Structure 1
Amino acid sequence: MILVLLIVALSFSSPYFATARNVSNILAQTAVISVVAMGQHLVILTRGIDLSVGSNLALASVLGALCFHAGGGSFAVVAVMVASGALVGAINGGFYVFGRLPHPFIITLATLSIAKGLALELADGRAIPGMPAAISALGQDAFAGLPGSVLVVLGVAAILFIVTRTMVWGRWIYAVGGGPIAAVRMGIPVSWVLVSTYIIAGTCAGVGAVILAGRTDAGSPLFGNLLELDTIAAVIIGGASFLGGRGHLGNALIGAIMIGVIRNALNLLNVNIFFQLIVIGVVIVVAVEADVLRNYLEGRVRVFQAGRAQ
C-alpha cells in the first residue's frame, strides 16, 4: 500500500517518473538489490545478518572478470561468480555455527573486510573491463519487454518461493528463527539450516555480481558499496523482523523496489545525492521502530485475549 501511494504521489510530482523508460530503469537498477535482498531475507529470518554481501559481490565480479580474461566462456564466468559467492557464504555460516560465535555480525564483518581486500588486491585497485557477450546481454538487453536482469530476479524469486513455501526446509527456517530452542527439541537440524541460509545469501550475492557485471561490462572491487545497508533496509521495510521467524519473500522484493523508487524520485527531483543516504537511514529507523511497535501491540493483544479466555 505504501509503495502504491508513493508511486501515485511521484507520478504527479514528476512528469518523467511514470514513463515506460523510467519504470524500466527502476526495475533494472533495483535488480541487484532485489536478488541479494532475497538471500539477506533468509538470514534475517533466522535472527542473523550478513554484512559481507557487498564485498562478496565485488570479489565475485573481479574473479569473473579474471576468468573471462583467462579464456573462460559465459558458463565458466557465471559459475565462477556464483561459486565464489556461495563459498564466502559457506565460510560465514560455518564459522558462525561450528566456531560457536555469539553472533553472525562478527564473522560477516570480518569477511566484509577480507573479501574487499582480496578484490582490491586481485584487481590491483581498479575495474577490469570485459565480460562475455551473453552476460552483457543479460545485464543490458530487454527480453519480452523486460530487462534481462528482471527475468533473473523473477527466476531466483520463483525458486526461493517454492523452496521456502512448499518444502520442509523452508518451514525449518521459520521454526529456527521463531524459536531456536524449540527447534532443537523438535529435532530440526538447526546448525545445517543456519549454514544453508548463509550459503544461499552468498549465492544470491554471486548472482547479483553476474547482473552488475553484465550491466557495466566489467568486474570491479568497488562494486557493492553499502549494498548490505540497502538489502537490510529492503528486508526490514518489507516487514521482516530482526527477532526472526517473520517475513515474506515477496515483501522483501517490494522493499527493494521501494528503495529504488525513492532513489529514482530523488534524482528526478534534483535532490542532492548525499541526502539519499540520509533518507534510506531514516527509512530503516522508522521500519525497525514499526516492527518493535507491532511486536509490542501483538503481545498486548495476546495478554488481553488470554485474560478474556480465563
Structure 2
Amino acid sequence: MQRDIKITEQIDTHTHYRKLQKEKASHFLGKYGMLLILIALVVLMSILSPTFFTSGNLLNIVRQMSIIGIVAIGVTMVIITTGIDLSSGSVIALVSVMVATFAQPNSYPLVVAIFIGLGIGLLAGVINGTIIAKGKIAPFIVTLGMMTAARGAALLFSDGRPIGNLSPTFTFIGQGTLLGIPVPIFIFAFVGIFSYMLLNHTKFGKYVYAIGGNEQAAIIAGVNVVKYKILIYGYAGLLSSVAGIVLTSRIASGQPTAGTMYELDAIAAAVIGGTSLTGGIGTIGGTIIGALIIGVMNNGLDLLNVSSYWQQILKGAIIVIAVLIDSRKNKKA
C-alpha cells in the first residue's frame, strides 16, 4: 500500500515538474520567440546571399526600416488601447509636401520647416483622438476618414506634383551620416528609447495599458480616458510627422504620394512584434524587432531576386500567422 502511494507521489511530482518545464519554455518563447525568429532569419539570409551579412547592407536595412519603425512605435501605443490608426501614411504625405515647401534653400531656417511638420502630424493625431474619445466613434472609421482627408490635402496643396530643390541642411537629416552611421538610425534609436521610457516608466504608459486592459475599470479607477486617448493618438500623429520629415529629407523632395501603405507595414510590425489587437499587450522592443523582421525579409528577398509580388504575399501570410498566435495566447489566458 505504502509502495503504491510512493509511486503515485513520484508520478505526480514528475507530472508537476514536466508542467513547470513546459510553462517555462512557453514563457521563454513568448518573451524571446520573435527575437529568435529574427536571428534565424538573419542566419538564413546570410547563407543564401553572401552580400547580406555585410556592415553596409545591415546598416541599409535599419535605415530603410527606420521610417516604418518610427510610425510603428506610435501605432503600437494606439493598438495597446484597442485602437487602430490607418491615417499614418497619408499624414506622412501631407507633412512631406508642407515641409518641402518651407525647406527650400535661402528661404526659412531649418527649425521652421521641422516645427511645421511636427505640428501638422500632432494636429492630425489630436483630431483623431478627440473624435474617437469624445465622439465615441470607432477608431477604424475616424482614422480611415483622416487617411482620405490628409491624402487629399497633400494632393491639393502640391497640385499633385512633387516639391523638390530642398536645402542641404534639410537633406542631411535623411541622407547624412554621423560616425559612419546614417542619421535616420540615430533618430529611430532616440524615438525608440524615449518611447520605451514613456511607456514603461511614466504614468502615461501605465494608463495606456490600463485603458487597453479594461477601459471601464480604468474609468472607475479615476483615469481620464478621454484625455489620455487624445494624447496617445496625438503622439502617434507626432511620430508619423517625424517619419514624414525623415522620408522627405531622404528622397530630397516632398511627395504627395509618399507613405502609401506605410500604415499597414507599421501595423504589421507591431502585430508581428507581439502587440495584441485585443489591447493591453505590447512592447516597444517587440515592435522594433517586428520592423526589423520585415526589413530583413524584404532586403533578403530583394537580394535573392524574389518578385515583390511574392514578398507581399509572404508578408500577408506572416501577419495572419502572428494574429493567429496572438488569438491562441488570449484563449489560453
- Residue in 2 aligned with 1:99? 135
1:101-148 CA-to-partner distances (Å, cap 9, x unmatched) read 1x1000100010000011011111121113332231121122123210
CA distance in 2, matches of 1:244, 1:135: 38
- Residue in 2 aligned with 1:184? 219
| AA aligned opposite 2:199 | T
Q: 1:214 aligns with which of 249, 252, 259?
A: 249
Q: CA deviation at 1:14?
A: 0.2
1:2 maps to 2:70: no
Q: CA deviation at 1:20?
A: 1.2
Indicate if the aligned counterparts of 1:73 and 1:132 stay in contact, CA closer than 8 A: no
CA distance in 2, matches of 1:216, 1:80: 19
1:202-252 CA-to-partner distances (Å, cap 9, x unmatched) read 000000011101111111111101001100000000001011110111110
- Residue in 1 aligned with 2:119? 83
Q: CA deviation at 1:255?
A: 0.5
Structure 1 length normalisation: TM-score? 0.94
| AA aligned opposite 1:64 | V
* RMSD, matched Cα: 1.1
| AA aligned opposite 2:124 | V
CA distance in 2, matches of 1:168, 1:54: 29
Indicate if the aligned counterparts of 2:75 and 2:84 stay in contact, CA closer than 8 A: yes
Indicate if the aligned counterparts of 2:122 and 2:241 stay in contact, CA closer than 8 A: yes
Indicate if the aligned counterparts of 2:72 and 2:267 stay in contact, CA closer than 8 A: yes
- Residue in 2 aligned with 1:124? 159
1:248 maps to 2:283: yes
Q: 2:194 aligns with which of 159, 179, 200?
A: 159
Paired-residue identity, % = 37
CA distance in 1, matches of 2:280, 2:37: 23
CA distance in 2, matches of 1:68, 1:187: 45
Structure 1's consecutive aligned runs of 4 or more residues displaced over 4 angstroms after TM superposition are none
Q: CA deviation at 1:28?
A: 0.8
Q: 2:263 aligns with which of 187, 212, 228?
A: 228
CA distance in 2, matches of 1:68, 1:26: 27
CA distance in 2, matches of 1:26, 1:147: 11
CA distance in 1, matches of 2:125, 2:118: 11
- Tell me how many residue pairs correspond in the alignment: 297
- Higher Cα Rg, which structure: 2
1:246-267 CA-to-partner distances (Å, cap 9, x unmatched) read 0111110111111111110111
SS at match of 2:257: coil
- Residue in 2 aligned with 1:239? 274
- Residue in 2 aligned with 1:11? 46
Q: 2:233 aligns with which of 194, 198, 203?
A: 198
Residue ranges of structure 2 left out of the alignment (5+ in a row) = 1-35
Residue ranges of structure 1 left out of the alignment (5+ in a row) = 299-310
Structure 2 length normalisation: TM-score? 0.87
Indicate if the aligned counterparts of 1:131 and 1:213 stay in contact, CA closer than 8 A: no
Q: CA deviation at 1:78?
A: 0.9
Indicate if the aligned counterparts of 2:103 and 2:170 stay in contact, CA closer than 8 A: no
Q: 2:203 aligns with which of 152, 155, 168?
A: 168
| AA aligned opposite 1:131 | L
